[in-house]
Amino acid sequence: MERVLQSVTRRPAWKPLVKTLSWDNRGLAEAFARYLMRREKSRIGAVSTIRLYLRQLSAIYRKYMGEHLESRLRDHFVAIAKLEHVRLFGLRQEPKHKKVLDPSGFTYLAHLRWVRDRKTAFKIGLDRLDDSLIRDFLMWTGCRRHELVYAQPKNKKEKIKEYDGGSDAYTDVDEPNPYILPRPKEFWVCGGVDERTESQYKVLCWEDIDLWILYDPMRNSSRDYLAMQVLLHFHKGHNKEIVPTWFPFVEEKLLLLCPISKLPAKAISEGVVDLSGYDTCAEPYFNTKISMPAVHIPWKREFWHKPVFRRSVESVEGPIKSDEPLGAKSFDNNSENLGKARGFPDRFQSYVYRQGNLEILDSKFPLPSSNSL
């Protein structure tokens, strides 16, 4: 927002100008709002976007002045967004239609993936299981797909060019002192060496998942229960502030939608489990009578920093799982094939899981609406 103000004033001294905001100098805000629409490559199409910028302008004024704007000036901001810009630029006043996927729709798609889909080809059976488990996590947690699979940054080519342009054969390189060993950085999740600094490992790894067998205190069923907690800590803006989020899971009666039932099958098939008796078959997980509050199912240490969802590559013995994370493009292609098999007129995107998740929460706990800035 501050960069936008700097560009509209064409000079770095924009802070003194913001401090002059008042009812008498309301033309400054009007000029700023018109600039937002007329600037190069402007993609603003809704009144709500203009109101968001004007709300941020009010916040910057409060930041540097220590007081709120006059109420009639804030009302004038609303008039600019609603009346003038709608008339001059034809901005949309109604919220844009968003495609959502409700629980019944997800159940149908999950059934279609396992039983009726013949258009999506998977190299091995674990690929189909991974695809189903990713969609379970998307539905239950509402996370973005790039927290589970690897999505390349949009400006990756520009970053590579910038790096290559600044390095050549004549570049001075400071070699580290061979007698001083660098101190390894500690990773805050497991306490070991931080090996997940590279972008391809900024996805869900095995150390981010805890699987438990919980004691049934009532002894009403024939066995104990499985529980799981998943840590998602690569949210938007994670590089600025660590915002870890733990998502607890319990067994779902409908196994088609139960990620806990699918995870042990995946862990056993890939040899991740590090507990004797639970590393060869799934029967012990569903036929337990423990005498303690809980039993933790550990993962082998070499898998801690490995992505949970990895892509399959060809080998001499056939397709096998590699150590590279599954790419977002591959998952998007699978989603598109699933949407075509279902008969969706538009391209099926993974974000409809998140929108459907938030719509369900908002229907149960609606937020108060307000027309004020």
Give the confidence band of 284 by pLDDT, cuts at 50, 70, 90. confident
- Kindly provide the b/e burial profile for residues 347-371, where b requires at least 16 CB atoms within 10 angstroms of the residue's own CB: ebbbbbbbebbeeeeeeeeeeeeee
Say if residue 371's pLDDT is above 70: no
* Domains of the chain: total: 2
Tell me if 168 is assigned to some domain. Answer: no
Does the residue 7 lie in any domain? yes
In a domain, 248, yes or no: yes
Assess whether 226 and 310 both reside in one domain. yes
Whole-angstrom Cα distance, residue 36 to residue 141?
35
Residue 212 or 286, more confident: 212
Residue numbers of the domain that contains 352: 103-151+183-359
- Distance in angstroms (rounded) separating the CA atoms of residues 62 and 197: 37
Give domain status of residue 159, yes or no.
Answer: no
Q: Is the C-alpha dihedral spanning 327, 329, 330, 334 positive or negative? A: positive
| Alpha-carbon gap, residue 99 to 348, rounded angstroms | 9
When comparing pLDDT for 134 and 142, which is higher?
134
Nearest alpha carbon to residue 285 among 302, 271, 273: 273
Contact predicate 232/141, CB 8 Å: yes
| Whole-number CA gyration radius for the chain | 26
- Residue 311 included in any domain: yes
Region 235-260: mean pLDDT is 82
Binned at pLDDT 50, 70 and 90, residue 311 comes out as very high
Q: Is the pLDDT of residue 195 over 70?
A: no
One domain for residues 306 and 354: yes
> Same structural domain for residues 191 and 46?
no
Burial class from Cβ neighbours inside 10 Å (0-12, 13-18, 19+) for residue 58 reads: middle
- The set of residues, in sequence order, having a beta carbon less than 8 Å from that of 191 and lying 6+ positions away, is none
Provide the whole-model pTM: 0.70
Share of the chain above pLDDT 70, in %: 76
pLDDT digits (tens, 9 = 90+) for 10-19: 555 777 888 8
Flag whether 192 is in a domain: yes
Which are the contacts of 179, defined by CB distance < 8 A and separation ≥ 6? none
